[in-house]
Structure 1
Amino acid sequence: MDSWAVNERTRPLAAAFTTVIVIIVYLVEEMHVTRPGRSKEPSIFRDLTRKRHMERILRGGQDYCVSYLRMDVGPFLHLSSIFRDKHLLVDSRHVSVEEQLAIFLHIVGHNTKNRIMRVEFLRSGETISRYFNNVLRAVCAIRDDFVHPPSGTCHHEIETNPNWYPFFKDCVGLLDGTHVDASVPSNEIPRFRGRKGPTQNVLAVVNPDLQFTYVLAGWEGSANDFTVLKDVLARPHPEGLKVLEGKYYLVDAGYTTMNGFIAPYRGVRYHLKEHSGRPPTNPKELFNLRHSMLRSRVERAFGTLKNRFKILTSHPFFPFRTQVKLVLGCCIIHNYIAGVDPSDRILLEGSTQQDEYINASQTRSQRAQREENRQWVELRDNIANDMWNRYNGFV
């Protein structure tokens, strides 16, 4: 049999074999692409749709980007580059760092459920969850870059305001607590139940330009603010709150005046609404008025934080440990935006809104504690009298 006849017989077999190989390769690729929960649409079209979605977010105009990501395009791209340069996030084969960060910001900014994000980004629920947690870890890893403890120097906003300087020149922060909705197992609800259901009690210190300098989250909502403060002071560095020698934090009437903390006078008008149309009539009222003007900045910071990140105002759907990390992560991003984009719309809305109303863990005798507290009460009295004398032109 000549070679021509052999080729004629084997040619159909070779063609059939090639066809089988092509079909097998195609099916293998489809098995990798078409997993449970994923669209059977060819991956090239899904990738194109995702690309257009990101372009619409970043090029749809400032209002669109801020509404979707809760920050402007410039800060968003800069934050992405920080994570990439620090090797905290990496571009995967199909998901860029920018898309990972966009997924995270949209969830925390709008409290968006996983099933909605699957539609928004054409990703599986497992992919959304994985990258959300990756970004949260990356955000917490840059805490020291954007949450700076007080330096002890007088803040420029105090120094340049005659209502506060020189009276509060030694103030290094404004301290207060807030409640954030929490989801906990049913057997733990009584411990976490606050006035508005289960919450976690968050204690924070803010400087006059609305940036957080200390944050502690995770205390149950039933705990009072002073109990949380005592725990903060008993914690070792760096978890604990540092009290600088001769310096102090301004606190509200829920706390007490003691070493490193000055509260307003009780039983005296305090909130700004109470002073509306009524000038102060004595040193204590004047002190409380200016104390309230300055300390209200911490309320503004909390308001801005919750306005930007709606996940902090809704019952979360994450494990409690993640809920605690989310509070810290949101504070870090808040500080980042305040530092790189002072003209941020959400931050400006919070800045212009109307005002609302030594290691402390060392054991000491009650007598020594009372004596020390008395000295800080006298300091408050001296500040109030000096403030009153200057207010009336006696100095």
Structure 2
Amino acid sequence: MNGLRDRYMKQAPKEVPEEIANNSNYFPYFKVRSWNFTYVLAGWEGAANDYRVLQDALSRPQPYGLRVYDGKYYLCDAGYTTMPGFISPYRGVRYHLKEHTGRTPKNRKELFNLRHSSLRSKIECTFGILKNRFKILAGKPNYPFPTQVDIVLACTVLHNFIALEDPDDDILNENVEIDEDTGEETNEDDSNVMDYTQSRSQREDRDVRNEWKELRDQIAWAMWVDYCAKYNGGNTMESGLT
């Protein structure tokens, strides 16, 4: 199964799924590939800090590391930070979908977090589907550690295969309860992959993070203007910003 990894698990796929391309809430701000895994780094203990695992994935040489291409970015939850190639939600602003129930966004930050959370819920749902199908992932298999790593990779490849070849699969389309935790095609052109192995000074690191926070602000404002044009008569006045 792992021999099919390059065929059924592709990083930064070019195609945009119809449910995103045809949804003005997301497109052109977010262009995601729903239901598929694009990169898997197996082997870390479950209690490991998420950001530490991400740094490990980014620091690995290609083709083993996580690729981030110029002009593209990943959405990540509040456990990470906004930095080159990764955009997290605004902190101190309501985020989880349940917090938005029965109310409309009052400003650009709330709107951005709402749509960010809506897409991140798809990620959580995909993990739920994976675990529902492959019960071995929730158990404690008595296999050598390298075999356990291979099992994780094989299951994710199989998941992608099913999603591509049989999109009407029952398990793939079943409703998954999401627990919102409040606490042989390959990419041949690597010339525009960001290099995370080069060290930067603290000042350079701070400056580049600020650039990406400014990008998040630009996306949030563009969303807000479009939202107000559709639902608020073009009035972009905001409330609740600090």
Identical counterparts, % of pairs: 55
1:280 aligns to 2:110 (yes or no): no
Give the 3-state SS of the residue equivalent to 1:267 in structure 2: coil
Matching of residues 52-71 of structure 1 within 5 Å: none
Matched with 2:222 is: 386
**Structure 2 residue runs without a partner (length 5+):** 181-193, 236-242
Q: 1 or 2, which has the higher strand percentage?
A: 1
Give the 3-state SS of the residue equivalent to 1:214 in structure 2: coil
Per-residue deviation at 1:371? Answer: 1.0
Matched with 1:230 is: 55
Among candidates 167, 176, 181, match of residue 29 of structure 2: 167
Choose between structure 1 and 2 for higher RCO, CA contacts under 8 A separated by at least 6 residues: 2
Conservation of the 8 A alpha-carbon contact between 2:76 and 2:86: yes
* Length-normalised TM-score, structure 2: 0.85
Matched with 2:189 is: none
1:234 and 1:259 map into 2 onto residues whose CA distance is 14
Matching of residues 272-351 of structure 1 within 5 Å: 272-349=97-174
1:330 and 1:146 map into 2 onto residues whose CA distance is 12
* Length-normalised TM-score, structure 1: 0.53
1:283 and 1:158 map into 2 onto residues whose CA distance is 20
Per-residue deviation at 1:374? Answer: 0.6
Bigger radius of gyration, 1 or 2? Answer: 1
Matched with 2:206 is: 370
**Structure 1 residue runs without a partner (length 5+):** 1-138, 174-206
C-alpha deviations, 1:41-88, integer Å up to 9, x for none? xxxxxxxxxxxxxxxxxxxxxxxxxxxxxxxxxxxxxxxxxxxxxxxx
C-alpha deviations, 1:185-240, integer Å up to 9, x for none? xxxxxxxxxxxxxxxxxxxxxx32x0111111101223200000001000011110
Conservation of the 8 A alpha-carbon contact between 1:152 and 1:247: no
RMSD: 1.6
Conservation of the 8 A alpha-carbon contact between 1:147 and 1:214: yes
AA paired with 1:367?
R
Per-residue deviation at 1:296? Answer: 1.4
Give the 3-state SS of the residue equivalent to 2:41 in structure 1: strand
AA paired with 2:204?
A
Per-residue deviation at 1:281? Answer: 1.2
1:157 aligns to 2:19 (yes or no): yes
1:261 aligns to 2:86 (yes or no): yes
Q: 1 or 2, which has the higher helix percentage?
A: 1
1:235 and 1:341 map into 2 onto residues whose CA distance is 33
Conservation of the 8 A alpha-carbon contact between 1:306 and 1:312: yes
Matched with 1:242 is: 67
1:220 aligns to 2:56 (yes or no): no
Conservation of the 8 A alpha-carbon contact between 2:50 and 2:80: yes
Large movers: runs of 4+ above 2 Å: 151-158, 352-357
What is the total number of aligned residue pairs between the two structures? 218
2:204 and 2:16 map into 1 onto residues whose CA distance is 29
2:164 and 2:95 map into 1 onto residues whose CA distance is 31
Per-residue deviation at 1:356? Answer: 5.2
Per-residue deviation at 1:354? Answer: 5.5
